[in-house]
Structure 1
Amino acid sequence: MAEEESSLKQTNIKKGDESQNPNSPYYLHPGENINTLTVSPVLDGPNYHSWSKLMKRGLQSRNKYKFVDGTIKEPPANDFLHDVWIRCNTMVISWITRSVSLQIAQSIVYIDNAEDLWKDLRDRFSKGDHFRMSDLLQEIHSIKQGERTISTYHTDLKTLWEELEILRPIPACSCTVKCTCDLVKTVRNYKETEYVICFLKGLNDSYNTVRSQVLMMDPLPNINKVFSLVLQQERQVLGNLLQEVNLVASITNNKQSFGGRNGSSSGRGRGRFNQRNFSNQPQKICTFCGKERHTVETCYFKHGFPPNFNFKDKRQTSTVNSYTSDSSTSPNTVEGSDHKITGKEYTEVSSTITTEQYNQLMEILKGSNVSGETHAVDNLQQHPGSQQQTDDWSC
């Protein structure tokens, strides 16, 4: 009797060592808690297959997947490992509960066995696979690169393809004597070919060259090799595009620099000339005297010159002042005559005659008729002292 109790005690000690053995599923590291394992994104229903795969990896990394696949059953209540099993089972349930949405978590709060919880989620969310398979097939065969890069496009397609592979896995041979026909390998090659064709078909038209080259290969390379070839083509296209952009930017900068040097007015040298030629503003033209850079509202020939106005030709000073000081005579009307001299005509005449010649002209016009006015002006323009030229006057 004493020997049996001693034997049972030694057996319990050996079992108790399981909780201290790092290689045992019953071992819990002191740093592990309910927050050490979370899966993102959480389970919300349609993403069950990707979620279950990620959750399986997390449990396997902590040597706890045997608690959900049925390998480790609950020990009897009088077993020394029962308490250890409860602690590990509770930790697994907590990890799963924190990796599902709040609505799903509320529906599994009363399930106390990790294996039952895993089965419940699988039965609820793995159904209706044919509808999801139909959607995946449609998305895979209609996906286009669009504005995405090659890397992003390949990642999106790979995500859809792997989810489809979970829904329709390649069956393994269940014969007692394993087949030697490599049928499974052939089926896998067919799927890989379909994957490559879908990837190439969705590329943009700028990759027509590399797409044609790959499709002419026999047999087709695997998806990783094709992705590498297309990625090299993308780098070449982007490199050429970058060179063109840099060239255009360089030409634009040169044009802006040329325009800044020639279009700016420095106030000296040829600054005034450059401003006239490169300014986009329309030039002002006076309708009274016909000169540029001012209007009739500010025309000195019509309204009078300032007292201290500096003339370019000093001989014009007395002529203009004598003309503008006569308040009884209109600037464009000759006294005693119906003929009106325009501001432009007056400017041309006043800039080439002296005061005495002007007085003589007035006397001739007073005693002549309208028909003789033109001849008098013509004779005056042929006067030997009227050949001098002056620069433009500017106001």
Structure 2
Amino acid sequence: MKRALLSKNKYKFVNGEILEPLCNDVKYEARERCNVTVVSWITRSLNTQIEQSTVYIDNAKDLWKDLEERFSKGSHFRISDLLQEINSIKQGEKSINEYYIDSKTLWEELDSLHPLPACTCKSKCTCNVIKTIAGYRELERIMCFLKGLEESYNIVKTQVIFMDPLPGVNRFFSLVLQQERHLNENSGYKNPHQQCQPIWSKDERKEQWY
């Protein structure tokens, strides 16, 4: 729901950034129309029982706060479950693409429930701490993805670990997908998990390792 509101530039109605104007303000009616629209969007996304419990809340900010207070504790348990799933997910019989999609789905749900902090400095921040934190989270995801790969990808696992700096998640996925294609071509699609060969030449590998 947050993404939908952000995409329509209406999230400020629920986070308190847009204050309610006075009744005689020229912006009052326009703001009220937008408020009713946002309330309608939110209530339509709720199941019937929850919707009935919010029928008398006509302010978007109050409605959002009410739902957040009621259901935020449940999200803590979901965050715990997601962290466990992310750290234990395995490729198994899935293709690299299927394995990546399953992993990415978990990552995105975690991001929605436990987003990275945003800088609130009045002046432009120069320490790049948020970028550093995001880098740590991406590194953790690459490590979890690597750990869950089948043994046939052991060589590519080692090669990626020795890359400095490590590639981003998307670039990393592209490299592993490339290796899967190489495996399938060599095996004639009979055994996609046979021991893989390096995806870089000797000179390229030397450059990556040193």
Q: Displacement, 1:117?
A: 0.9
Structure 1 residues 139-179: Cα deviation after superposition (integer angstroms, max 9, x where no partner): 11110011222112112212222333444444455567777
Q: 1:219 to 1:124 in 2, by over 3 A?
A: same
Trace 1:41-52 onto structure 2 (pairs within 5 A).
none
Measure, in 2, the Cα distance between the counterparts of 1:180 and 1:82.
Answer: 39
Aligned residue for 2:109? 163
Task: Please state which structure has a larger fraction of its residues in helix.
Answer: 2
Match for 1:212: what amino acid? T
**TM-score (ref. length: structure 1):** 0.43
**1:303 matched residue in structure 2:** none
Letter in 1 for 2:22: P
Task: Determine the structure 2 residue equivalent to 1:112.
Answer: 58
Q: In the TM superposition, what is the alpha-carbon distance from 1:121 to its structure 2 partner?
A: 1.4
Corresponding residue for residue 236 of structure 1: 182
Corresponding position of 1:208: 154
Deviation (angstroms), 1:229: 0.8
Q: 1:76 aligns with which of 5, 15, 22?
A: 22
In terms of mean alpha carbon deviation, does 117-126 or 169-178 score higher? 169-178
- Report the equivalent of 2:11: 65
Show the 5 A alignment for 1:118-133.
118-133=64-79
Paired amino acid for 2:38: V
| Partner Cα distance (1:69, 1:209) in 2 | 48
1:92-103 aligned at under 5 Å gives the runs 92-103=38-49
- 1:74–1:188 distance in 2 versus 1, CA, 3 Å: closer
Q: What does residue range 136-215 of structure 1 map to in structure 2 within 5 Å?
A: 136-172=82-118, 182-215=128-161
Q: Which runs of 5+ in 2 are unaligned?
A: 192-210
Deviation at 1:237, TM superposition (A): 2.2
Change (3 A) 1:230 1:88: same
Deviations 1:326-376 (Å, cap 9, x if unpaired)? xxxxxxxxxxxxxxxxxxxxxxxxxxxxxxxxxxxxxxxxxxxxxxxxxxx
TM-score normalised by the chain length of structure 2 = 0.75
Taking only the aligned residue pairs, the percentage that are identical comes to 61
Distance 2:24 2:128 in 1: 51
| RMSD (Å) for aligned C-alpha atoms | 2.8
2:168 match = 222
Cα 1:240–1:184 change in 2 (3 A) is: same
Distance 1:124 1:98 in 2: 18
Distance 1:146 1:79, change over 3 A: same
Q: Which amino acid aligns with 1:201?
A: K
The CA deviation at 1:66 is 3.1
Deviates more, 1:86-95 or 1:56-65: 56-65
Larger radius of gyration, structure 1 or 2?
1
- Structure 1 residue 78: Cα displacement: 4.2
Give the aligned residue type for 2:60.
A
Distance 1:195 1:175, change over 3 A: same
Aligned to 1:373: none
Deviation at 1:62, TM superposition (A): 3.1
The equivalent of 2:198 in structure 1 is: none
Distance 1:177 1:210, change over 3 A: same
After TM superposition, list the pairs within 5 Å mapping 1:242-257 onto structure 2: 242=188
Structure 1: tracts of 5 or more residues without a match: 1-54, 246-395
Higher relative contact order (CA 8 A, sep 6+): 2
1:208 and 1:139 map into 2 onto residues whose CA distance is: 22
For residue 136 of structure 1, report the CA deviation from its aligned partner.
Answer: 1.7
Report the residue type matching 1:152 in the other structure: E
1:209 match: secondary structure = helix
Change over 3 Å in CA distance of 1:188–1:56 after alignment to 2: closer
2:201 maps to what in 1?
A: none
Structure 2 CA distance for aligned equivalents of residues 100 and 66 of structure 1: 20
Per-residue deviation, residues 60-84 of structure 1 (Å, max 9, x unmatched): 3334333223233334344454443
